[in-house]
Structure 1
């Protein structure tokens, strides 16, 4: 009976892996200690509903990205800290969902929480939404740092996906401790081959990413 179970498990895992393009991997197969909360798989995001293409809370990235994240996790763990992923590979269909939503100006269900000071009509112009995303290339991640003992996120001064000046990495509208937390994340990502994004403290892309010009559209499942 146990032997049959192992056979079923093996073929199940093999089938899952075969669904991914070459050079992509489920992050948990490289480092299962990294926490995740894919916000676009839930209602807890700036649109207020699950996003197209997110069929499971599974983090998918390129193999090189996964290896770099594993190294960062190991470094942080020595301080009883760890990574938490909010988003990684993002199907193009999800980006298309964002674009379609952005054009419906009266749909502002989550404005008070996620973009209180930015007019929805300005989200494209100010760089918070785009028709193409580095996430669809598989080597971009949105993440934060957590305390491994409590599981709580470090205070970064603004929540993930908050659209506004306060989320800019070097915003002056945060406390000294919040800035220290941001710099802890930023510095460890920079020192491990990631580059940041000017508008968002949580957003990093692997340097020399394997697919700099390809935008994938397979679902997350």
Structure 2
């Protein structure tokens, strides 16, 4: 039934795409790292676009703890993600990750940045309609993140093989993440209605504002991820957490190497 429901949407989207310790439960660094795996070691066809390793993110600089452009996840979460990829491949589609395990030091940097109301360097792209003073109130920034527990990730769907993606360089003109796909940053993702890390109600998974095909792609991603144990965060169509989590109360802080 899912294939019938989404077939036309997926085909149209494919065509368009041709466009160190934890805070709550300390553990040794060695134990932390051995509990994780790089997803591309399990499936090299999963695309990794490590946004926080570079400058194209809402802060506009590489984030603390990101020493390599990898997607690290707990072994359970990585194995489940590979199962999602196997379901997408027959459709000519695949997954692309934006962020996976996130060291606590990176979350601390986000919090410090959010408190500095004068730093709006990247506002024009990532939060064009939201007052930075409200990022905590509206739930976009928090002092703890599920990403630091190792089983949460941000991702999208791309056509296989992935189209070339625009390269961002510091100081490039910014384009609002809420613009139509052909006007915002030319990501090689299918069109889900907003860019990644878009602090805007339009990015809420069930927002009625996106087009029918954009809403259908969100539903496809949510359904596939749900089937393999991942639950979506309603405020972000790209954000999913494996349930149950292997480390539900552990916030790791080892760097991504």
Q: One fold, TM greater than 0.5?
A: yes
Aligned to 1:203: 239
Partner SS, residue 74 of structure 1: helix
Report SS of the residue matched to 1:179: helix
Indicate if the aligned counterparts of 2:32 and 2:252 stay in contact, CA closer than 8 A: no
For residue 21 of structure 1, report the CA deviation from its aligned partner: 2.4
The offset of 1:27, in angstroms, is 1.2
Unpaired segments of 5 or more residues in structure 1? 1-17
Q: Distance in 1 between matches of 2:37 and 2:151?
A: 11
SS in structure 1 opposite 2:215?
helix
Q: State the alpha-carbon separation in 2 of the partners of residues 22 and 56 from structure 1.
A: 17
Cα deviation for residue 19 of structure 1 reads 8.4
Instruction: Give the root-mean-square deviation of aligned CA atoms.
Output: 1.2
Counterpart in the other structure of 1:12: none
Secondary structure class of the residue paired with 1:190: helix
- Name which of structure 1's ranges 126-135 and 149-158 shifts more when overlaid on structure 2: 149-158
Residue 124 (structure 1) aligned to one of 136, 139, 145: 136
Structure 1 residue 22 and structure 2 residue 34: aligned?
yes
- Number of residue pairs aligned between Structure 1 and Structure 2: 204
The correspondence of residues 66-105 of structure 1 with structure 2, limited to 5 A, is 66-105=78-117
Task: Give TM-score, length-normalised by structure 2.
Answer: 0.77
Q: Identify which of structures 1 and 2 has the higher relative contact order when contacts are C-alpha pairs closer than 8 Å and 6+ apart.
A: 2
Q: Cα deviation per residue 1:143-170 (whole Å; 9 max; x = unaligned)?
A: 0000003433110000110001000001
Q: Give the unaligned 5+ runs of structure 2.
A: 1-29, 164-187
1:56 is aligned to 2:68 = yes
The match for 2:161 is 149
